[in-house]
Amino acid sequence: MQAIIIRHGKVDFQWRQWSTSEQFNKDCKMYDKAPILTLSSDVPQIIYQDIYTSSLQRSRETASQLFGQKDVISTKLLDEVPLCASVTSNKKLPLIFWNVSGRLQWYLNIHSQKECRKETLYRAEQFIEMIVQKDNNCIIVTHGFFMHTLLRNCS
Is the domain defined by 3-154 classed in CATH 3.40.50.1240?
Answer: yes
**What pLDDT sits at residue 84?**
97
What are the pLDDT digits (tens) for 14-28?
999 999 999 999 999
Q: What is the pLDDT of residues 103-143, one digit of tens each?
A: 999 999 998 999 999 999 999 999 999 999 999 999 999 99
Listed by start position, the domains of the chain span 3-154
Residue pair 8/59 in contact (Cβ under 8 Å)? The answer is yes
Nearest Cα neighbor of 57 from 41, 72, 42 is 72
Q: Are strands 93-94 and 18-19 parallel, antiparallel or unpaired?
A: antiparallel
Q: How confident is the model at residue 47 (pLDDT cuts 50, 70, 90)?
A: confident
What's the mean per-residue pLDDT of the chain?
A: 93
**pLDDT number for residue 155:** 58
Whether residue 45 is predicted with pLDDT greater than 80 in this model: the reply is no
d(CA 9, CA 114): 24
